Amino acid sequence: MALNIDYLLGLSENQLYGLLGNKHKATTKGKWTRRGLEEFERFREKLYEEICDKWEACRKLANFVFDDPEGLKRVVQEIAEQLKESVFPEIRERAHNLAVIVVRKEGLEKFCNCS
């Protein structure tokens, strides 16, 4: 399910995890949020491989301005495109949601251990 990046960027952290857990709609209901957090943790290693290694996030960080809304959307879109090419179907189908969580919640530099 490809969702509009503007829509995803407007969701709260709980709603993003709720959407990841529910797959159909953003929700803050506890069980869906917990399930979304569990899913994200389950994908963490694969996401690291796709975003930090294959997409080379640390090298590309200098090219993005995160406090600019258009720059933020551009980095989310590029990461989502990388995730859509993943060999892992669970990641491909949730690419945009996962990209927003990594960029906005986790922080790309922190997630990839860039120094």
Residue 24, domain extent: 5-111
How do the pLDDT tens digits run along the chain, 115 residues long? Answer: 446 888 999 999 888 998 888 876 666 678 888 889 999 999 999 999 999 999 999 998 877 776 778 888 888 999 999 999 888 888 888 899 899 999 888 889 999 999 7
Q: What is the pLDDT of residue 26?
A: 65
**CA distances, 37 to each of 17, 87, 112 (Å):** 6, 21, 18
Concatenating the DSSP letter of every residue in 35-91 gives: HHHHHHHHHHHHHIIIIIIIS-HHHHGGG--TTSHHHHHHHHHHHHHHHHT-S-HHH
Q: Which amino acid, one-letter code, is at 8? A: L
**Predicted TM-score (pTM) of this structure:** 0.84
Domain count, the chain: 1
In angstroms, the CA 47 to CA 56 distance is 12
Coil vs helix vs strand at 5: helix
Q: Which amino acid, one-letter code, is at 94? A: R
Q: What is the pLDDT of residue 94?
A: 87
